[in-house]
Structure formats: structure tokens, C-alpha cells
Amino acid sequence: GIQVEQSPPDLILQEGANSTLRCNFSDSVNNLQWFHQNPWGQLINLFYIPSGTKQNGRLSATTVATERYSLLYISSSQTTDSGVYFCAVDPSGGGADGLTFGKGTHLIIQP
């Protein structure tokens, strides 16, 4: 099956810093999503981005499908940005199949 690798596994930053999280995947994908898991376990949708670039406030994401990677940018980090960030992909051509998740990047923003 498809492999999803996220880096770095852990990241500790000071408030106000910028960060880049990376997701590499081993095959072409029909769906790529970025999630933030909060301390209560809820998965919050950040981006649906199988290709191209999107921005939402301080967050932006870019997926280069031909080179099989996606990047999540967080600017001017706040302590509320702390948590685990997951990249997940669906390789199937038909869509609406299950996602394969990476192991996540654990981000800690210190005041």
C-alpha cells in the first residue's frame, strides 16, 4: 500500500516563530488532507489539497503532486497551535475510500 512519511516527528518552537511541516507519499493520490489533532483528540480539518496551494489565515499548504510531497506552513506561531499535525492521503482513483495517515508531527509552541 501507499506509504506516508511526515517530518519532523517533533518540533519545539517559541511563540512567533514560523514552521514548515513536510509530508512525502509514495504514489499518486486522489485526496490529501492536513489535520490538527487537539488535546481532546478531535481532528480538525486544515486543508483538502490534492494539488496546488491554499491559504487560510496564518496557515498555508502546498502539494506538488508530480513530486509526491506536501508542505504545511505555520506563520507567527501561537501556543494554541500546539498539538499533532497529520497528513493523510487516499490513493484510489475512485475516491471516497479510506485515508492512509502519516505518524504525525508533534508541535509544541512555548510562550
Partner 1 sequence: DGGITQSPKYLFRKEGQNVTLSCEQNLNHDAMYWYRQDPGQGLRLIYYSQIVNDFQKGDIAEGYSVSREKKESFPLTVTSAQKNPTAFYLCASSTRGTDSYEQYFGPGTRLTVT
33 belongs to the binding site for partner 1 (CB under 8 A): yes
Q: Is 65 in the site for partner 1 (CB under 8 A)?
A: no
Give the interface size with partner 1 as a residue count (CB under 8 A). 25
Nearer to partner 1, 18 or 53 (CB): 53
Output 15 or 27, the one with its CB closest to partner 1: 27
Among residues 55, 58, 97, 108, the one that binds partner 1 under rule CB under 8 A: 97
State residue 96 phi and psi, 5-degree precision.
60, 25
86 binds partner 1 (CB under 8 A): yes
Q: CA 39, CA 51: separation in Å to the nearest integer? A: 29
Say whether residue 93 binds partner 1 (CB under 8 A).
no
Cα distance between residue 85 and residue 43, in whole Å: 9
Minimum CB distance to partner 1 smaller for 15 or for 108: 108
Which CB sits closer to partner 1, 39 or 111? 39
CA dihedral 12→46→85→78, nearest 10 degrees, is: 20
Amino acid identity of 19? S
Burial 71-93 (b: 16+ CB within 10 A, else e): bbebeebeeebbbbbbbbbbbee
Should residue 90 be labelled a site residue for partner 1 when binding is judged by CB under 8 A?
Answer: yes
